[in-house]
């Protein structure tokens, strides 16, 4: 823990930088301090990660950890807006970190240019207030979900494919279940941007939605995503929210509920 976590007031330059958001209902000086004292980890620095990290850094989230072992490719540039031609061949987490520092050097960024796996997940995800899943494959999403449920950390998950996206917030010990309750654990089909294609503008939509929900969580404002899953369709531009129910046979979360001692 560094001194940042004991911050109890904003500097004059921070009041100026964040003035347009501090004036919002539900935000204020206290909310800005909460953001400054918050620690988030973002897994995946591709399309969603670019957008989420940019808005959270811009909004003044004090400590961010970025994880991605992938390098930027030419086919990423339509939707991965933090990168340019000079980024190609370079690591995404490194490149995104450079971009964020030029945007806001008042925040701490921990860069991890590697892929999340079972061996490093403990070390990389612990000691954060919110885990933000911007990864692009089921295997990683399930690993993150398993870790968050087991370690009782809040998980904000989103994904986008084609013209559609989805988002949900999994809170510890939630009666509304976890990510794996919703998505077939036996499915071996992997839909990815690589195999299915993706509309770059929808990556911006879903990433902005995910950033908004992350800010609401850190500001301790209620979110419908804690009990619902949102499905966003970019063809007709509709957002449908469905109440989630925990799967009583879920191998990840079914046995994690603790007896209520109140
Ligand atoms: Zn579950």
What pLDDT does residue 191 have? 67
- Ligand 1 centre distance from Cα of residue 179 (Å): 6
- The Cα–Cα gap between 164 and 33 comes to 35
Distance in Å, CA 243 to ligand 1 centroid: 14
Q: How many domains does the chain have?
A: 1
Residue % of the chain over a pLDDT of 90: 88
- Whether 217 maps to a domain, the answer reads yes
Return the bridge partners of 160, or none: 165
160: left (phi over 0), alpha (psi -120 to 50) or beta: beta
CATH of the domain at 27: 3.40.50.720
With respect to residue 129, please indicate whether it lies within any of the assigned structural domains. yes
Phi, psi of 29 (to 5 degrees): -65, -40
Q: Is residue 187 in a domain?
A: yes
Taking all residues of the chain, what is their mean pLDDT, rounded to a whole number?
93
What residues contact 44, with CB distance under 8 A and at least 6 apart? 67, 68, 133, 134, 135, 136, 140
Ligand 1 centre and the CA of 149: distance in Å? 8
- Whether 201 is covered by a domain: the verdict is yes
3-state secondary structure of 209: helix
Q: Domain limits at 140? A: 18-243
pLDDT over 70 percentage in the chain: 92
- Per-residue pLDDT band for 113 (boundaries 50, 70, 90) equals very high
Output the pLDDT for position 186: 57
In a domain, 77, yes or no: yes
**Is residue 3 very low, low, confident or very high in pLDDT (cuts 50, 70, 90)?**
very low
pLDDT on residue 188: 54
Please determine, for residue 19, whether its predicted confidence score (pLDDT) is greater than 90: yes
Does the pLDDT value for residue 12 go beyond 50? yes
- The tens digit of pLDDT for each residue in 186-237 reads 555 666 767 789 999 999 999 999 999 999 999 999 999 999 999 999 999 9
The model's pLDDT over 44-60, given as tens digits with 9 standing for 90+, comes to 999 999 999 999 999 99
In a domain, 82, yes or no: yes
DSSP letters spanning 102-130: HH-TTSEEEEE-S---TTTHHHHHSS-SE
Identify whether 193 is a catalytic site residue. Answer: yes
pLDDT of 262 > 50? The answer is no
Q: Which of 45, 134, 148, 193 is catalytic?
A: 193
pTM, rounded to two decimals: 0.94
Region class of 227: left (phi > 0), else alpha (psi between -120 and 50), else beta: alpha
In a domain, residue 209? The reply is yes
Average of per-residue pLDDT across 15-30: 97
Distance between CA atoms of residues 120 and 31, nearest Å? 32
**178 Cα: distance to centroid of ligand 1 (angstroms):** 4
As a whole number, mean pLDDT of residues 132-149 equals 96
């Amino acid at each position: 823990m560094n001194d940042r976590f004991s911050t109890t007031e904003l500097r004059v330059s921070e009041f100026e930088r964040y003035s347009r958001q501090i004036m919002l209902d539900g935000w204020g000086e206290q909310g800005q301090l909460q953001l400054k004292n918050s620690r988030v980890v973002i897994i995946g620095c591709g399309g969603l990660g670019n957008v989420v990290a940019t808005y959270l850094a811009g909004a003044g989230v004090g400590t961010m950890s970025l994880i991605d072992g992938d390098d930027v490719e030419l086919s990423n540039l339509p939707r991965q807006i933090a990168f340019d031609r000079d980024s190609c061949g370079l690591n995404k987490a490194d490149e995104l970190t450079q971009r964020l520092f030029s945007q806001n050097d008042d925040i701490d960024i921990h860069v991890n240019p590697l892929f999340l796996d079972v061996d490093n997940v403990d070390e990389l995800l612990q000691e954060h207030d919110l885990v933000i899943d911007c990864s692009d494959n089921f295997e990683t999403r399930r690993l993150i979900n398993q870790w968050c449920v087991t370690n009782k950390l809040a998980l904000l998950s989103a994904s986008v494919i084609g013209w559609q996206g989805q988002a949900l917030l999994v809170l510890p010990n939630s009666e509304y279940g976890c990510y794996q309750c919703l998505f077939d654990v036996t499915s071996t089909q992997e839909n990815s941007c690589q195999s299915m294609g993706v509309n770059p503008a929808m990556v911006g939509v879903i990433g902005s939605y995910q950033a908004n929900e992350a800010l609401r969580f850190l500001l301790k404002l209620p979110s419908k995503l804690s009990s619902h899953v949102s499905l966003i369709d970019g063809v007709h531009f509709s957002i449908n929210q469905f109440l989630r129910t925990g799967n009583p046979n879920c191998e990840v979360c079914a046995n994690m509920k603790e007896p209520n001692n109140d």
